[in-house]
Amino acid sequence: MLVNMKQILEIAEKEQYAIPCINTPNIETLRAVIGAAEELNTPVIIDHAEVHDPLIPIERIGPEMVKYAKEATVPVCVHLDHGTDYTFLMRAIRAGFSSIMYDCSALPFEENVKRVKAFVEIAHNLDITVEAELGMMKSTAEDTHEEDAESRVLTNEDIREFFTDPEEAKAFVEQTGCDALAVCFGTMHGIYAEPPVLDIDRVKEIRAAVPADCRIVMHGASGVEFSQVQQAISAGCSKVNFYSYMAKAASKFVSDLVIEKEGKIAYHELQEEAYVFMKGYAKDVLKAFRNGK
């Protein structure tokens, strides 16, 4: 069942759990995430990140995501992750996405507000939910695939520099009317150089400040201890993005399997083994983010 984010995140927040948002850049991952959600009878958000478009264009993977969502026995939101190029947002709309993140967090506050507000007016007329970001989330080069991204080590103190201010978050949501807001409180995208430490009190402050009809989003959850993620969920995060470590674990699983089989395994068999592994991984993530619900 294809839904937008607003329909499922409102329920998640009321019941104090979070819905994972997982990248699905190929069919095996798409099947695995939807299959995991169906087996657990729980909603899920699948997404296509703009940085993955060179790997698989939205015109190719998008229709498959929408098809799987419509045929699923559970509510599935098809979401665009970190859309920064306006043309790309339009491509997502044409592909049938039910939710779009317009990430203008690298811009000054006023410009971020201006662009997101204008897009919200367009999206809401199409029954599409909009996520924005305030407090720029840092990334590793491995995750972004950007040519100009540096391979750098980011400490927890480095990340703290980009934390979201609760009062700014309140003003941003009131002025833009966005449905969800990604905030920074101790996470980043990609692979962590040291165990992250989340500022849970900041999450509580942001949740208290932001209008009640806007959901709070946690990005960069993979690599964070589930116990910390669960604290963030209890503090007010109802959407949690997760992917990098799942992809890394799947790569290791496939590599180990090829070695174990001494290379005597067909490609289609390897694909199915990877699908089964990723479905199990996705189920663990879904269960953890349910917070015992």
- Tell me if 133 is assigned to a ligand binding site: yes
- Tell me if 124 is assigned to a ligand binding site: no
Q: What tokens does 233 get?
A: 């969920």
Strand partners, 19: 239
Determine whether 81 is an active site residue: yes
- Tell me if 219 is assigned to a ligand binding site: yes
| Angle, vertex CA 155, rays to CA 237 and CA 81, nearest 5 | 40
Best CA proximity match to 285, nearest among 208, 226, 211: 226
Quote helix, strand, coil % in the chain, to nearest 5. Answer: 50, 15, 35
Task: Give the integer Cα–Cα distance in Å for 141 and 148.
Answer: 8
Q: Which of 81, 143, 165, 179 is catalytic?
A: 81
Task: Give the integer Cα–Cα distance in Å for 153 and 172.
Answer: 30
Q: What tokens does 115 get?
A: 């662009």
**CB neighbour class for 125 (10 Å; exposed up to 12, middle 13-18, buried from 19):** exposed
Three-class SS state of 217: strand
User: How do beta strands 215-218 and 180-183 pair?
Assistant: parallel
Q: What is the DSSP letter of 292?
A: T
Q: What tokens does 291 get?
A: 């917070």
Tell me which residues are annotated as active site. 81
* Residues of the binding site: 82, 103, 133, 189, 219
Residue positions in the annotated binding site for Zn(2+)? 82, 103, 133, 189, 219
